[in-house]
Amino acid sequence: MNPRLLKGEHAPRLLLFVMLLGWCAALLLFRFVRSGSLTLGFLAWNLFLAAVPAVAAWLFARAMGKNSSTVERVAWFVIWLLFLPNAPYIITDFVHLTPRPGVPFWYDIALLVSCAGTGLLLGYTSIADVQVVVARRYSALMGWLLVVGTIPAGILGLLFEHALRKAFASPGLAAAFLTVNGVLLLAFERLRKRAPRPGDYLGDSDARLSELSWRQAVAVGTSQAAALIPGISRSGVTMGGGLLVGLSNEDAARYAFLLATPIIGAAALLKLPDLFGADAAGIRGPALVGALCAAATTYLAVKFLLRFFQTNRLTPFGIYCIAAGLICTVIFAFS
């Protein structure tokens, strides 16, 4: 790991951020004094939200560099992933740019450019910190591929999860999309970039995954967002994306599981407040048992599937999903 993350040599960067945030705060304060209006006061809150992932990424790097608990490490990583969209989101504040009395129009332009630039810089440095940590476990390039592959699905999930869940909240639709999922799995095998070769699974899988380009990593990671639709398999469509960019079945499965881990962890943390709310009384015990069973079965399933895909394809899973989806569609249609 980059020793600067652990030895306090981040001070120049911290000083830069303090100066940038102070500059933005001064611009906001002067605007309020000059106009007497808090019209753009929301920028202060947006800057705070943009700073959260930078702090979380640094604390995640610190936790990974010492004998901290796994819970602490996972917590900081999930907080980083949840708040990361706030860093680039501040760019959307330009929609509020319009001439207003009290201050020159150019002043508001300078204010928004300063805040947006600071937010983007905070987001970029947080991504760089996380990449350094991931590179300690994998190669440096693999670290970047995992980070850039995770971010698109995280952002899309935060933006559209509620709308899609509301639109497709029907057992019949879930069964129909399970059928669609099966068709997709068969299509991925049909349209894969290259046919399986004997010995595809031999050698260093991480080295082979590191040959992905940035564009391919983003494309495969973004495909996870399809799982926001009930009935669509996250791992299945992510594996399919891997096949389309030239990965073997085993490498595609490995990359899919690596990408799914932070996304699923972040989604679970996002739903924790609901579990501790008043409406969840009486289900916390069953939820805990279910979570433990899910963790155990997931571990066993991943081990089995990684070995299975060394010499097998997605075809049997596609056939199963089509059959199960059609049967369930008929059952729901006449029930």
Which pLDDT belongs to residue 320? 93
Domain segments of the chain: what residues? 3-137, 145-333
Report pLDDT digits (tens) over 164-191.
666 666 788 888 889 999 999 999 888 8
Residues of the chain predicted below pLDDT 50: 1-9
Q: Residue 181's CB: how many other CB atoms inside 10 A? A: 24
Nearest to 36 by CA among 95, 94, 107, 101: 101
How many other C-beta atoms can be found within 10 angstroms of the C-beta atom of residue 324? 16
The answer to whether 49 touches 83, Cβ cutoff 8 Å, is yes
Tell me how far apart the alpha carbons of residues 224 and 291 are, in angstroms, rounded to a whole number: 22
The pTM of this model reads 0.55
pLDDT for 5: 43
pLDDT of res. 3: 41
List the beta strands (DSSP E) in the chain: none
- Looking at residue 8, what is its pLDDT? 47
Condensed to tens digits (0 to 9), the pLDDT of residues 225-284 reads 777 778 888 888 888 888 888 888 888 888 888 777 766 666 666 666 677 666 766 777
